[in-house]
Each structure stands twice: as structure tokens, then as C-alpha cells.
Chains A and B, each alone.
Chain A
């Protein structure tokens, strides 16, 4: 990926070069991983190798950080990312059923991507829209006051878009 994606790599390198000018630049590892994920959609080993070499941070350390924080993906995601809110407010209003419905509908578990790479299913803890509970977010759009039926409809309409 990295060889074919020169533009992204250049942008990442420039980003790191800027950071290296500041003091204690190695403390910005998380910001760099955010940037890399923004560019590539996930954190590949080759990208992390690049960061290690440039920032002078051991790869085992980067791996430790990348796996510690839920926000970082180590595998590419699907076209649409579904985040079901499992915050307390959503939970007491039936978020668990919503999640089950999606799992059943897409035949994937949390953290997985459908075989056609169309949907990735994630859970999240509170999108801060408790008034609309239960909610889910697909990409950057929030869907509120969900029912199992509504969820299936939403998934179908997105899938049709695909066809």
C-alpha cells in the first residue's frame, strides 16, 4: 500500500516533520497515529514501521499504543462504519436489541467487516445524543429513536444504494 500511495506517505512524512520540529516530539505518537489512520483508514504494519523509523520510537511500543486505544483500527474497514451506541441511556432503551438485530442482519460480530467490505460494525459508548436514544451512527450521520425494524430498513436502503 505504502509504495503505491506516495501522496499519503508524503503527507504523513510532512506531518511528522512538522512535529519533529517541536520539543518532546515523541509524545505526539497518538496524534501521528490519528493522522495515519485518517490517511489510510487503518494502521498497517508498514505505516507503523515508517513512524517508528522517523520518530525514533520502538515498534513494539507503537504496537502497544495502537492496540491499547479502541479508536485505532489495525485492519481496513468497510465502506460504511456502523457504530451502535451502547451508552447507558441507549442501553436502558434497548440498544442491545438493536445491536443484535444488526449482527443478525449482517452476519458479523462487533469489530468485524462484512465479506463484501460494505459494512463494519462497531460499538461506541455514548455519542452524546441521549435524547434520541437508542442511537447509532453510520459514517458521520446519527440515526435516533431506533427500533429493530427501523434499523433493518436503514441497512437495506444503504445496501440498495450499493446496487
Chain B
């Protein structure tokens, strides 16, 4: 790479050519304030917060978009540019509700942080503010355009990363607003509820549909049995909400905190992940023997399932009929476990603590009901549970860890890695290999399908038969992978798809990025994933079929994988949905 000489704030530096001013400055330790910029998304250059002065240029330059060049003299912190930046942030703030103290993102809001950073102490330009109705229609995501600062990160994410195109800018000028098509209620749109808009939103224009206030009365009702299940990736990320570094596993603390909050039982979704693997691996082997369509595609990710129904109905037959681990756990709680504790299923409050907003949507799907009741009554995201823990005054960081409850609390390492991209596939192959060949798979860590590459492929040879697998995370990558399959239907046998970038560790319900971090930061995702791989390595049982409690539930209740009972309780079917979504082939959204 060619080196060029520039100056920043009158000091000389040598930097790589071919990068933007912001990139160069970042590497030199100048963190220019920014808002609409996101490294994973296209350059918008809209907010103008990251302006700098460049000698010889009449106007300020948006450092996120402007390339460095040899001899460039850049000023990032003069009195003039500081006032300009402060005025820009003020202009944005002038059209923003001033309700910080009652706002969900108070303290974790980028706009608030910017106001602080730019040193705003007076207001000069207040006037009319926009006024829109909140969109409360979706069971997962609440849209509040009044808080939108029009940075466009959600729009770019929804189209460029997720390929869903649920959101767009509409109208123009002061009336510009980010909305679904026709300004329709979010629930009727093609939104897959993945919640990534929440992750990238700098303010509270998108937040999860909060269920904590509905949960509290139930927690106080002594006639009910309160049961929580905890998804694998929650434990890998919840620490961040308490100021801990990403990647710190807080499994046992989470269990302890949930008990302090009043849950009677705390179960592990990793257990039902093991159960999913038993069913899914068996289903795969059946399909491999000609009973059903290949490639088989996983169905654990709720956003992905809505995506298939809307955008890829031609693949519905390829989708595994297994419910997600959350719904399997819910179903088992209402049946097997209710019977075990001799309670009526309706006397149980089944709460799922998830990294995910789409799970809120999944929980309400009628086709997943068990005996007329939803498997899960309420889904609470990592963010919500972290808030509940804080609100209850529980010293989460220092609390003494506790174990999950039996009989639905013991899990294998395979269950833990469900929370990261490639994990379901890896877990399934560990079991499928041994069920198919009867031999022990020696090398159970399948490196080819780990990591953050968009589409990963790998293969396993079972009894001389080559099984080709592919893994995609993020719905955009999923679309690309499916296009490949459309061109060559026999290319793969088994495909894992997760709706969110990085898999569940990057879910839409995970803690907001801290003040020195960015949403969906790859380093953060890697650390969370590493926490789960660490959990896997720490366990002696790393294969789902070797989990003794799994073996017990089959013996006591389900019989064998794919039995009639298993089908009735643990499997489901999916159907094409309206509105039918459109994924353009070449469209570049700007």
C-alpha cells in the first residue's frame, strides 16, 4: 500500500493511501464524532457530524466519505469546526423529543452521547418538531419515528445486510421519515422481526416490544409456576449490559439472578437445543435416505423462518419441520414437565430469555401451540432481563453462580454452540455422523464452518458418503446461498441459516454497544462466539445424544426421535405468507 503524508491538527503523519479521512484518523487515534457512519454499511454522508476542515476546501468535508490524499492538511478540532459540529448536533436534537429521562435508551443513546461530546450547553434554534404515531403493531419491534434522526443506518442494514427491504425513506425534506411500504403497520410488512434495526439505531426510534411490565404482575401471582429458559447466547453477552468486556460468560450468574427475580425453575434452552439436534439429525438422516427433500435447511431462527415464508416459498419443503429449541422447550414444559410437577399447563408461566426479538413473534405463532396453549407465554430479550436485574437491585456481577434446574437444565457442548453461526450445523453433524455410522466422530470441531465469513461450506464423509454442508448468517447471505442452491439443487445436503449477522450472539435483543464500541462490531461478535466455544470445550459431554437427560426424556416421554409424540409436540409446518417480499437481483439502494 502506498504511503502518503498528511497533517492532522498541524501534526504530520504518514498514512496508507486509498482510505477515507475517518479511517486514517481512527488508526491514528483521532476518533472524529460520527452518527450515520457504520463500517458494515455503505457510506451515506448524511448526518455531517463527522465534518472536518481541509485546507484549500471552501466547505467542510465529511470525513467518513472523503478520501485522504498526499499533502492534505486536516483540522478536526478547531473552534470553528467544533461550533459547526455542535450546531449540527443541536439541529438534530431540536427535532427530537426531549424526553431522555423517560426514554428506553437513556444512557445508551448515541445522540445523547454526541450532545455531551460536542459540549452543548445552550439551545438556539428550537422550533417545530416532527410528530408521528408510534407503531406498536409488531409483536417484536416498536417503531417511533419521532426519535428517528434519519441517519439511515436501519434502512441500509435492512436492505444491504438483511436484503429484506422492509424499511425505506419516504417523503422528503423536513417530512422525511423511515417507514415500511405504504406506511403500513410494521406487523403487516415484510419485516422479519430480526431486530437488527434496533441494534444499529443510535436512538430509540426502534426498540423491542417490551414485555417486562406484563411479566411483573405474573411474577407476583403466587398461584402460578414461573419458569424461565435461557438461550445460549444470552449468557455470552449479558455481562456487557453491566459494563463487562464482551466474551465474559455469565451463565451461572444469570441462573442465580433469575431465581432472585422470582422464577421457580430456570431451565436451559441448551437442553432443548440438544433435543432439537436429536430430532433434526434424525430428520436429516431420513431425508438422506430419500424420505424428503434435500438440502435440508435449519429452522431454528425465527426471523429466517418469516423470511422463507415471504421471500423463498420455493424452499418451504426443504425446511426442517423441527421447532426451534425455544419452542421445543416450551412444548416440553407444558407437557412432560407439567405432568412431572403435577400442574395444569395453564398454571405455568413460560418465559423465554432470548437474545432475539423475532422470538417474540415466534412465540405468538398459532401453529406452534401445544394443546391450545403457546409453548412460551412471553419472550424477554437480553436487554430486558438485564434491566429487570438492575431494576431489582441484584448485584449481577458479584452474585454467586447457581446451576440450572433439573430435569431440563443439563446440556452438552453441542447445545452451547447453537448460539453462534455454524453451531447448529456442527452440533447436528456430531450427532448425525454417529447415528449414521455408529462410529465416534473424532474431530468434532469443524473449523470450516466457524467464523464470520458470510457463507461457509464444509464437508463430512460418513461411511464413504460425502455430505456437503453450507452455513449462512444474516438474511442477505442467506439469499445469496439460496440463489446458489437454485442454480445447483444438488450442491449441498444440509444448510444452516441464521437470520442475524454472527448468529444468535448478534441477535436483535442483545445489549446495546457501549460508548467505545459500535453496534454489530465483529470483534464483539467473535468474543461472544468464543465464549460459547469455550463453554463447549469445558464440557465433558459435547454431543447431544450423549446428554443423559436427553436420553431420559426419550425413555420417559418421547420414545424415540421422530416418534408420533415427538412429531406432535416438537415439529411443525410452515406456509408461504403474504405480503410476498421481493429481493431484487441488482438493486443498489441508496
* A59-B172 in contact (CB<8A): no
* A59-B579 in contact (CB<8A): yes
Pick from A45, A49, A56, A64: contact of B168, CB under 8 Å? A64
- Also in contact, A45 and B182, with CB within 8 A (given A26-B586, A68-B171): yes
Residue of A whose beta carbon sits closest to that of B578: A49
Question: What's the least CB distance linking A59 to chain B, in Å?
Answer: 4
Query: Which residues of A37-78 have CB atoms within 8 Å of chain B's CB atoms?
Result: 45, 48-49, 52-53, 56-64, 67-68
- Also in contact, A58 and B579, with CB within 8 A (given A67-B172, A68-B172): no
Given contact pairs A48-B182, A53-B582, A58-B165, enumerate 4 new A-B contacts (beta carbons under 8 Å). A26-B587, A58-B159, A61-B165, A61-B584
Pick from A56, A63, A64, A68: contact of B582, CB under 8 Å? A56
17 of the cross-chain contacts (CB-CB < 8 Å) are: A26-B584, A53-B582, A56-B582, A56-B584, A57-B584, A58-B165, A58-B181, A58-B190, A58-B584, A59-B181, A59-B182, A60-B166, A60-B179, A60-B189, A62-B181, A63-B170, A63-B181
| Chain A to chain B: the 3 pairs with minimum beta-carbon distance, closest first | A58-B165, A59-B181, A60-B168
* B587-A60 in contact (CB<8A): no
* B584-A60 in contact (CB<8A): no
Pick from B167, B171, B579, B587: contact of A57, CB under 8 Å? B587
* B165-A60 in contact (CB<8A): yes
Query: Which residues of B288-305 have CB atoms within 8 Å of chain A's CB atoms?
Result: none
Query: Could you tell me the distance between the alpha carbons of A27 and B579 in the complex, rounded to whole angstroms?
Result: 23
Query: Could you tell me the distance between the alpha carbons of A28 and B170 in the complex, rounded to whole angstroms?
Result: 19
Question: What's the least CB distance linking A17 to chain B, in Å?
Answer: 17
- B585 contacts partner chain A, Cβ-Cβ < 8 Å: yes
Question: What's the least CB distance linking A28 to chain B, in Å?
Answer: 13
* B171-A67 in contact (CB<8A): yes
Question: What's the least CB distance linking B415 to chain A, in Å?
Answer: 37
- Produce 1/0 per residue, B135-174, CB < 8 A to A: 0000000000000000000000001000001111111100
- B180 contacts partner chain A, Cβ-Cβ < 8 Å: yes
User: Which A residues touch B341, using CB under 8 A?
Assistant: none
User: Which B residues touch A59, using CB under 8 A?
Assistant: 165, 181-182, 190, 579, 582
User: Which B residues touch A57, using CB under 8 A?
Assistant: 582, 584, 587
* A53-B584 in contact (CB<8A): no
Residue of A whose beta carbon sits closest to that of B166: A60
- B580 contacts partner chain A, Cβ-Cβ < 8 Å: yes
* A64-B170 in contact (CB<8A): yes
Most A-side CB within 10 Å, residue of B170, B172, B181: B181
User: Which B residues touch A53, using CB under 8 A?
Assistant: 580, 582
- B589 contacts partner chain A, Cβ-Cβ < 8 Å: yes
Chain B contact residues, CB within 8 Å of chain A: 159, 165-172, 179-183, 189-190, 579-587, 589
Query: Could you tell me the distance between the alpha carbons of A64 and B170 in the complex, rounded to whole angstroms?
Result: 4
* A60-B167 in contact (CB<8A): yes
Residue of B whose beta carbon sits closest to that of A58: B165
User: Which B residues touch A63, using CB under 8 A?
Assistant: 168, 170, 179, 181-183
* A58-B581 in contact (CB<8A): yes
Query: Could you tell me the distance between the alpha carbons of A64 and B158 in the complex, rounded to whole angstroms?
Result: 14
User: Which B residues touch A56, using CB under 8 A?
Assistant: 582, 584-585
Residue of A whose beta carbon sits closest to that of B191: A60
Query: Could you tell me the distance between the alpha carbons of A68 and B172 in the complex, rounded to whole angstroms?
Result: 6
Residue of A whose beta carbon sits closest to that of B180: A60
User: Which B residues touch A58, using CB under 8 A?
Assistant: 159, 165, 168, 181, 190, 581-584, 587
Query: Could you tell me the distance between the alpha carbons of A61 and B167 in the complex, rounded to whole angstroms?
Result: 8
Question: What's the least CB distance linking B298 to chain A, in Å?
Answer: 26
Query: Could you tell me the distance between the alpha carbons of A1 and B266 in the complex, rounded to whole angstroms?
Result: 55
- Produce 1/0 per residue, A93-112, CB < 8 A to B: 00000000000000000000
Question: What's the least CB distance linking B589 to chain A, in Å?
Answer: 7
Query: Could you tell me the distance between the alpha carbons of A156 and B77 in the complex, rounded to whole angstroms?
Result: 63
Query: Could you tell me the distance between the alpha carbons of A58 and B167 in the complex, rounded to whole angstroms?
Result: 10
Residue of B whose beta carbon sits closest to that of A66: B170
Query: Could you tell me the distance between the alpha carbons of A49 and B578 in the complex, rounded to whole angstroms?
Result: 12
Residue of B whose beta carbon sits closest to that of A45: B182
User: Which B residues touch A61, using CB under 8 A?
Assistant: 165, 168, 584, 587, 589
Query: Could you tell me the distance between the alpha carbons of A13 and B165 in the complex, rounded to whole angstroms?
Result: 24
User: Which B residues touch A68, using CB under 8 A?
Assistant: 169-172
Question: What's the least CB distance linking B532 to chain A, in Å?
Answer: 34
Query: Could you tell me the distance between the alpha carbons of A60 and B154 in the complex, rounded to whole angstroms?
Result: 13
Residue of B whose beta carbon sits closest to that of A69: B172
Query: Could you tell me the distance between the alpha carbons of A63 and B159 in the complex, rounded to whole angstroms?
Result: 15
Query: Could you tell me the distance between the alpha carbons of A58 and B585 in the complex, rounded to whole angstroms?
Result: 11
Query: Could you tell me the distance between the alpha carbons of A57 and B172 in the complex, rounded to whole angstroms?
Result: 20
Question: What's the least CB distance linking B196 to chain A, in Å?
Answer: 15
User: Which B residues touch A26, using CB under 8 A?
Assistant: 584, 586-587
User: Which B residues touch A48, using CB under 8 A?
Assistant: 181-182
Question: What's the least CB distance linking A31 to chain B, in Å?
Answer: 16
User: Which A residues touch B179, using CB under 8 A?
Assistant: 60, 63
Residue of A whose beta carbon sits closest to that of B189: A60
Query: Could you tell me the distance between the alpha carbons of A61 and B584 in the complex, rounded to whole angstroms?
Result: 11
Query: Could you tell me the distance between the alpha carbons of A77 and B8 in the complex, rounded to whole angstroms?
Result: 57
Query: Could you tell me the distance between the alpha carbons of A45 and B589 in the complex, rounded to whole angstroms?
Result: 21
Query: Could you tell me the distance between the alpha carbons of A62 and B579 in the complex, rounded to whole angstroms?
Result: 15
Query: Could you tell me the distance between the alpha carbons of A62 and B189 in the complex, rounded to whole angstroms?
Result: 14
Query: Could you tell me the distance between the alpha carbons of A48 and B184 in the complex, rounded to whole angstroms?
Result: 13
User: Which A residues touch B170, using CB under 8 A?
Assistant: 63-64, 67-68
User: Which A residues touch B587, using CB under 8 A?
Assistant: 26, 57-58, 61
Residue of B whose beta carbon sits closest to that of A62: B181
Question: What's the least CB distance linking A55 to chain B, in Å?
Answer: 9
Query: Could you tell me the distance between the alpha carbons of A56 and B165 in the complex, rounded to whole angstroms?
Result: 12
User: Which A residues touch B180, using CB under 8 A?
Assistant: 60
Residue of B whose beta carbon sits closest to that of A57: B584
Query: Could you tell me the distance between the alpha carbons of A67 and B167 in the complex, rounded to whole angstroms?
Result: 14
